[in-house]
Amino acid sequence: MSAAHTRKGTPLLALGAIGVVFGDIGTSPLYALRATLDIAGGVQTAEMHVMGALSLIVWGLLIIIGVKYIALVMRADNGGEGGLLSLLVLASTRDGEPDVKRGRIIFWLALLGAALLYGDGIITPAISVLSAMGGLAPESAATVTAQPHWILVASAFIVLAIFMMQRLGSGVLGWLMGPLMLGWFVLIGVLGAQQIIETPAVLGALSPWHAVELVAHSPLTAFLMLGGIVLCVTGGEALYADMGHFGRRAITLAWWVVVCPSLLLAYFGQGAAILVSSEAAENPFFALAPESFRVPMVVIATIAAIIASQAIISGVFSMTRQLTQQGLLPPMRVVHTSNVEGQIYLPGINLLMAIACILIVLLFGTADRLASAYGLAVTGVMVLTTCLFAVVARRRWKWSWWYLGPLVAVLLSIELTLLASNLLKIPSGGWVPLAVAVFILAIVATWRRGLHLVNRGRLEDGLPLDRFVESLDDRAIERCPGTGVFFGRETGITPVTVRKLLRHMPVLPETLIIVHLHASGVPRVSHQHRLRLESLANGVWKATVRFGYLQKADLPGMMRDAIERGVPADLKTMTYWVRRDQVALATDHHGMARWRVAVFAYLLRNATVLPDLLDLPPRRTVEIGMRAPL
């Protein structure tokens, strides 16, 4: 834990966490209760359904967010960082060493969760904005299947504006997010408290008996309502994913002091309004405030939706960067929007998400219809997180099955029930996150397989590095002044670029630096451990550069450190030799299906090249093209 996460700075960090971490879950009162009661009959909902739904929401928030994420999952940090990738690293190692036997299963479980998060990132801006703008719809429109056209168009433009703002970076408006979301939580809490004062009987829903009564009286209705209840815990994964930025202590403080009380007051206030007037079930959130305050509430809710969208989009950017650094996705252009590590912008991903999100707004039309697509991604990630946490707790922390087993059984029983309820939504919209996840998994599998085939052919005829170094004594190779930096894919194998250069022009620089890049399983690698040098012979040096999955590999900076450690080189005359892979489509090999070869070739053509990823100076970088049959 860094010094920034000390007890002294916890209140300020908690304020920042309110703006970034809790944006998604903070806007769930806009649509969660309404979507739940629509399943039970909307304006014809009985008091039993209202009280049962509120009871389920209360205990869902306390158990899933308070117990699972705050008290348990956030203990599993990897160097202070959280998220599915951290769980993957922790779960796939035993005593610090990779566990090959179970690593593959755990890897695909974590990757499935990451793929579902992409669906979450696409749906969140759409449902948040549609819910906020729905407050402007006429009351008569509450029962139709689509918003008025002007609201639909306005929502699409707001979503477009959200993604256009991403290039500015979260740091530009980040200092406003905390105070604005704090004001949001105070507002919904105060409005909810006013309704509760008028109808205090609604507080009876604090008792789980109302949930039990609902299940006993209408088991099928209660089961279907769980598909809406899950919406109140959306964003729970963000608590864990952003733990490295704010610290567990700050997130815990923000949850129990501000977020949880405000959410409960807001939900109970909506329930109280419905008990007084059943018409409030048409849009219970906006029933909290007087009609004269409707437009300001829409504006405030829209601002909150924008902030919530910013948080989840930034999370998708971070997840994508981690996957690219692990070689699971093609390299992409990353723009650092500030000097703060983690505040990044990915133009390509941003464009794809913007197009998909706008299409979803136009396709579904209302937040109620889109709620069917939302819950499946959330519950899927919850189940996978619980499974990975159980592996970490058992294998790394040595927790006994006597208390880990019942704990995991309770969590999985709740989450699997929620997942089963949301599986019924697949025909009405649940297919969206599944389609996104399948698309992401197909891209990952194709990229990994393509890289394996490309590298396999070159490793088969690879020249061992020690033999190459020895051959420099015997071969008539001209050595010219200067330093050449070559990149090796496999340790102990001579880089293909060196062999290609010798084949066409037998001249080598006086000093050769063979660089091996390694993406470490930890978030950040300390400066003293990022570079390891080894002098071989005949002017050949081997440099191993390690960087964490939240760090950018600044290779010129590493070469500067290498010179300070004794490498006889000059940065001004240093040349970087980089290979540029291309795929030969016309081939008789059968490493992949032809359509997958075409997809891999497209990904390879559009991947960000190594010089851009490593900040190599353009005037001193030479690319050597190589065609590889698949």
Per-residue confidence (pLDDT) for residue 140, from 0 to 100 = 44
Predicted confidence at residue 282, as pLDDT, reads 83
Q: How far apart are CA 580 and CA 586, in angstroms?
A: 19
Segment 476-492, tens digit of pLDDT: 678 888 899 999 877 88
pLDDT for res 408: 95
Q: Please tell me the CATH code under which domain 12-447 is placed.
A: 1.20.1740.10
Q: Does 197 have pLDDT greater than 80?
A: yes
DSSP state of 462: P
Closest CA to 65 of 260, 242, 245, 222: 260
pLDDT value of residue 202: 94
pLDDT at 273 over 80: yes
The CA-atom distances, in angstroms, between 618 and each of 419, 468, 511, 582 are: 51, 28, 20, 21
Range of weakest confidence among 152-156, 272-276, 607-611: 607-611
**How far is it, in rounded angstroms, from Cα 478 to Cα 608?**
34
Compute the average pLDDT of residues 279-299: 86
Start-to-end Cα distance in the chain: 46
Percent of the chain with pLDDT over 90: 29
Q: To 10 degrees, the CA torsion angle through 177, 182, 187, 193?
A: 150
**pLDDT of res. 254:** 92
Where is pLDDT greater, at 93 or 360?
360
CA angle 185, 52, 225 (to 5 degrees): 85
Least trusted range by pLDDT, from 21-30, 97-106, 620-629: 97-106
With a cut of 90, say whether residue 519 has pLDDT above it: no
**What percent of the chain lies above the pLDDT cut of 70?**
87
Stretch 27-34: mean pLDDT, rounded? 90
Rounded distance between C-alpha atoms, residue 231 and residue 35, angstroms = 9
Of 561 and 590, the one with more pLDDT: 561
57-80, pLDDT tens digit by residue?
999 999 999 999 999 999 988 777
pLDDT reported for residue 3: 39
Q: Where are the domains of the chain?
A: 12-447, 463-629
Q: How many Cβ atoms sit within 10 Å of the Cβ of residue 99?
A: 15
Contact 76, 87 (CB under 8 A): yes
Cβ–Cβ under 8 Å, residues 185 and 26:
yes
